[in-house]
Amino acid sequence: MTGYQSPAGFTDRIDAAGAVAASLSEILALTSRPDMISFAGGMPAPELFDADGISEAYARALTTPRRVLQYSTTEGDPLLRQAIAERLSRQGMATEPYELLITTGAQQALSLTCAALLLPGDVVLVEEPTYLVALQCFALAGARVAPVRCDGEGVDPSALDEAVRLHHPKLLYLGPTFHNPTGRTMSGSRRHAVASLAARYGFWIAEDDPYRELRYQGDAEPWIASLPEAADRTVLLGSLSKSIAPGLRLGWLRAPAGMRRACATVKGATDVHSSTVDQVAAAVYLTEGDMDGHLELVRRAYEERCDALLGGLVHSLPAGSAYNRPCGGMFLWARLPEGYDATEVLRRASGYGVAFVPGAPFFSGPADRRTMRLSFPTHPPSEIEEGLRRLRLAFEHDSTT
């Protein structure tokens, strides 16, 4: 965490959050060459946005300009709450519209949860590694973060039990489905184990779930928020960023009444409400557009891109590397053999015109510097193959190991 200059007069919390961001932006600065094939960004593929369908939804929303250009309620536009509640209910998470607070992305849903729940010094337990911007949120809240050991199935329940007894956390933050950064999905039995521990010890869970709609293989696992043991202590954070488009900046928070009201209070004081016109256009798209048909195209394209990456990785990473096979989402997690440092590898790889994100900034405890996150949606298979060729060259000519 170097290179961050503390602006005079700002709080330690701003410094801490700024340091988290700086650790990544220094790395990403390496990846800005125009012809770069980048496995670094966490962005959906823009050519796969349903631009016509979304434009049409905006046009329809604007047929009632006096309504959609006006202020609205903090909780969110009734049409959008209804549309999201119906979609969640159809997918197995029984939800009434009043149980949702519409937010400016899942990111704001997490910020509101932190502001509503956390006092400086409170402990937040996180998967190790975890989503970097969540670490920023916890730093801004003045919380102390403690990592919990994970394996291929997600959080290790015995490690969680131990961490809870040691740290007395107020919140456990999880990305159970197509986790950022690892791409891993938590198994059903682990979800139940986590829910039981939350009930036994009385901590809150933030279930951050922006990637759920991007499943291309296997069956969905239940939401932790749907399990009876954890239903009264789980805040479910959802998003339209990955299922429609991130520029809408729309998400939601589904939480028990007290928590939902607290988050609505914070939101009212923060931005009054999320954009009315965007909310209504999203509601029109969800109810009248071909969201499911379009999402299926996106899933198939991402699956193909994921397969292209998986197909070539074995020849591009050094022998002895390990990586997972995600069933959905946008990320794959790899670990290089002993002696490699992924940040050093990135310096070299960026010279060859290929980029990824080293895993180190995603760790809240001691970083595993051999790890790397590879994101596959943004390039078609032919470019992924070229990116893999460049990566292989970077390793072949690596004099650092």
Q: Which residues bind ligand PLP (CB under 6 A)?
A: 42, 105-107, 131, 175, 180, 208, 210, 239, 241, 246, 251
| Least CB distance to ligand PLP at residue 210 (A) | 5
Distance CA 215, CA 238 (A): 15
Distance CA 401, CA 399 (A): 6
| Least CB distance to ligand PLP at residue 133 (A) | 7
Nearer to ligand PLP, 251 or 353 (CB): 251
- Residue count of the chain: 401
| Least CB distance to ligand PLP at residue 398 (A) | 30
Tell me whether the omega of the peptide bond preceding residue 181 falls within 30 degrees of 0, making it cis: yes
Residue where the block lists tokens 């074995």: 314
Nearer to ligand PLP, 107 or 316 (CB): 107
Nearest to 127 by CA among 144, 151, 149: 149
Nearer to ligand PLP, 178 or 323 (CB): 178
| Least CB distance to ligand PLP at residue 75 (A) | 18
Nearer to ligand PLP, 40 or 317 (CB): 40
Distance CA 132, CA 21 (A): 8
| Least CB distance to ligand PLP at residue 163 (A) | 20
Nearer to ligand PLP, 210 or 387 (CB): 210
Closest residue by beta carbon to ligand PLP: 105
Q: What is the 3-state secondary structure (H, E, C) of the chain?
A: CCCCCCCCCCCHHHHHHHHHHHHHHHHHHHHCCCCCEECCCCCCCHHHCCHHHHHHHHHHHCCCHHHHCCCCCCCCCHHHHHHHHHHHHHCCCCCCHHHEEEECHHHHHHHHHHHHHCCCCCEEEEECCCCHHHHHHHHHCCCEEEEECEECCEECHHHHHHHHHHHCCCEEEECCCCCCCCCCCCCHHHHHHHHHHHHHHCCEEEEECCCHHHECCCCCCCCHHHCCCCHHHEEEEEECCCCCCHHHCCEEEECCHHHHHHHHHHHHHHHCCCCHHHHHHHHHHHHHCCHHHHHHHHHHHHHHHHHHHHHHHHHHCCCCCEECCCCECCEEEEECCCCCCHHHHHHHHHHCCEECEECHHHCCCCCCCCEEEEECCCCCHHHHHHHHHHHHHHHHCCCCC
| Least CB distance to ligand PLP at residue 111 (A) | 10
Contact 309, 356 (CB under 8 A): no
| Least CB distance to ligand PLP at residue 377 (A) | 12
Nearer to ligand PLP, 105 or 326 (CB): 105
Nearer to ligand PLP, 18 or 175 (CB): 175
Nearer to ligand PLP, 109 or 354 (CB): 109
| Least CB distance to ligand PLP at residue 215 (A) | 15
Nearer to ligand PLP, 23 or 316 (CB): 23
Nearer to ligand PLP, 106 or 123 (CB): 106
| Least CB distance to ligand PLP at residue 373 (A) | 11
| Least CB distance to ligand PLP at residue 374 (A) | 15
